[in-house]
C-alpha cells in the first residue's frame, strides 16, 4: 500500500533526527518538521545538550508567520517538564499550531503520555504512534538507559570465518577490509563509550578513536583490567584524548556498566578482546551485535567469544531482527540477541 501522508512527513522528521545521533547524549535524538498547506515550511533537530530541542528549533525557523493551520511532526513526544530547557509543550501551545503528530511516546513512566494530554487540553489535535517503531529504534540506547539506568551494550568485532579475532602471531595484518573498519568507526561515533579488556590494550595498543568521521565527538575509552600493570605509553594514555580514558580495576563487567550508567553513559561499544566479549555474552549483558565477517580462515589464537558458553543449546543466544550487509569484501551482521532462557 502507498505510504500515507503522515508517515511520509514523519520520515522527513526522522531524517532530521538522525543528524543528531551521537551528538546529544544523554538526551535523545529528535527531529521535527513543520507543515502548512501540504508544504514543509521549517525543519529542526536537537543539535547538542543544552541547545534548543527539535520542536523549538523548528518553530524558530518558521519565523513570524501565522501557524494556525500548521501541523508539527516530531519523532518523540515533546518534553513536558523543565530541564536544561523549558518544556517544549509550552512553546508549541504558544505558537498556535493546529495539530501535532508524534512518532514514539516518551518511555519514561513519569512522562509517558503527559505531553499528549497537555496538548489536547490546550485544544490541539494530537496523533501519536506514527512510525513509532522506527522512531523508538533511533533512540534504543537512550530508551534503555532512561528506564534502567544502565547503558545499551553493543558487541562489535571483526572476525574470520573460523571464529578468530586475530591472524597467527607472526602476521599482524588486519582481518577486515578498510571499508569495514571505517564502518566500525562510524558506529563508534554513535556511542558514548568504547570498552576493551587489558589484554587488548597490551597487545594491540588501539587508538579507539573516530578518526576520519567528520563532526564526530570522541567517546569515552574504557579499559577493564583484572591484574597486572597497564602500559603507560599506550596511545589512549598519551594522545590528545587522554582525558577521555577511564580505567576500572578488578571490577566485574556488570559493575563497570552500572557505574558508567551513573555517569550518564547511555551506550557502550564492547570491542574486545575475546575474554571480555565472552563475559558479556555469558552474563547476558549484550543488547545488540555488530560483527564483521572477513572471507578468510586464519587459525589465529584468539577466539571471538571466549566465555564459558551456554550449558545447553536451548540456553544459547538467538539473534532476532538479523540483517546482513556487504561492506567491502566483508559481511556485516547485526541483530539483537535473545537467550533461550528468556521469555519471547
What is residue 267's predicted lDDT score, i.e. its pLDDT? Answer: 98
Return d(Cα 113, Cα 105) in angstroms, integer.
6
Locate cell 587522554: which residue? 242
Return d(Cα 203, Cα 240) in angstroms, integer.
21
pLDDT digits (tens, 9 = 90+) for 22-36: 999 999 999 999 999
Average pLDDT, whole number, for the chain?
Answer: 92
The mean-pLDDT minimum among 128-137, 155-164, 328-337 falls in 155-164
For 238-262, what is the mean pLDDT?
Answer: 97
Q: How far is CA 24 from CA 48, 126, 281, in A?
A: 5, 26, 28
| Per annotation, catalytic residue among 55, 57, 275, 279 | 55
Residues of 63-91 as b/e, b for ≥16 C-beta within 10 angstroms?
eeeebeebbbbbbbbbbbeeeebebbbbb
Q: Mark whether 57 is an active-site residue.
A: no
What is residue 3's predicted lDDT score, i.e. its pLDDT? Answer: 63
Name the band, by pLDDT with cuts 50, 70 and 90, for residue 344: very low
Backbone angles phi, psi at 324, to 5 degrees: -120, 135
What is residue 341's predicted lDDT score, i.e. its pLDDT? Answer: 56
Amino acid at each position: 500500500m502507498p505510504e500515507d501522508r503522515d508517515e511520509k512527513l514523519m520520515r522527513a522528521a526522522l531524517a532530521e533526527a538522525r543528524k543528531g545521533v551521537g551528538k546529544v547524549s544523554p538526551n535523545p535524538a529528535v527531529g521535527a518538521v513543520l507543515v502548512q498547506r501540504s508544504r514543509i515550511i521549517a525543519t529542526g533537530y536537537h543539535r547538542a545538550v543544552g541547545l534548543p530541542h527539535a520542536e523549538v528549533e523548528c518553530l524558530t525557523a518558521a519565523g513570524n508567520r501565522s501557524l494556525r493551520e500548521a501541523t508539527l511532526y516530531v519523532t518523540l513526544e515533546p518534553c513536558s517538564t523543565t530541564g536544561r530547557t523549558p518544556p517544549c509543550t509550552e512553546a508549541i501551545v504558544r505558537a498556535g499550531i493546529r495539530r501535532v503528530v508524534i512518532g514514539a511516546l516518551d518511555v519514561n513512566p513519569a512522562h509517558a503520555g503527559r505531553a499528549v494530554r497537555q496538548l489536547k487540553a490546550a485544544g490541539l489535535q494530537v496523533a501519536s504512534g506514527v512510525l513509532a517503531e522506527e522512531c523508538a529504534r533511533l533512540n534504543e540506547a537512550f530508551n534503555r538507559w532512561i528506564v534502567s539506568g544502565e547503558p545499551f551494550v553493543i558487541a562489535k568485532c571483526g572476525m574470520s570465518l573460523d571464529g578468530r579475532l586475530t591472524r597467527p602471531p607472526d602476521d599482524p595484518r588486519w582481518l577486515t577490509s578498510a571499508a569495514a573498519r571505517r564502518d566500525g568507526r562510524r558506529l563508534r561515533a554513535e556511542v558514548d563509550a568504547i570498552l576493551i579488556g587489558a589484554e587488548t590494550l597490551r597487545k594491540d595498543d588501539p587508538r579507539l578513536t573516530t578518526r576520519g568521521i567528520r563532526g564526530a565527538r570522541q567517546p569515552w575509552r574504557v579499559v577493564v583490567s583484572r591484574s597486572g600493570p597497564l602500559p603507560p605509553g599506550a596511545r589512549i594514555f598519551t594522545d590528545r584524548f587522554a582525558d577521555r580514558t577511564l580505567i576500572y580495576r578488578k571490577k566485574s563487567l556488570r559493575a563497570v556498566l552500572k557505574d558508567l550508567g551513573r555517569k550518564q553513559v547511555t551506550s557502550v561499544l564492547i570491542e574486545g578482546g575475546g575474554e571480555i566479549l565472552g563475559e558479556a555474552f555469558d552474563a547476558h549483558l549484550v543488547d545488540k551485535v555488530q560483527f564483521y565477517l572477513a572471507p578468510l580462515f586464519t587459525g589465529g589464537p584468539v577466539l571471538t567469544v571466549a566465555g564459558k558458553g551456554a550449558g545447553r543449546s536451548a540456553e544459547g543466544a538467538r539473534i532476532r531482527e538479523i540483517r546482513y550487509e556487504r561492506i567491502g569484501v566483508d559481511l556485516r551482521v547485526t541483530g539483537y540477541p535473545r537467550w533461550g532462557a528468556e521469555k519471547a
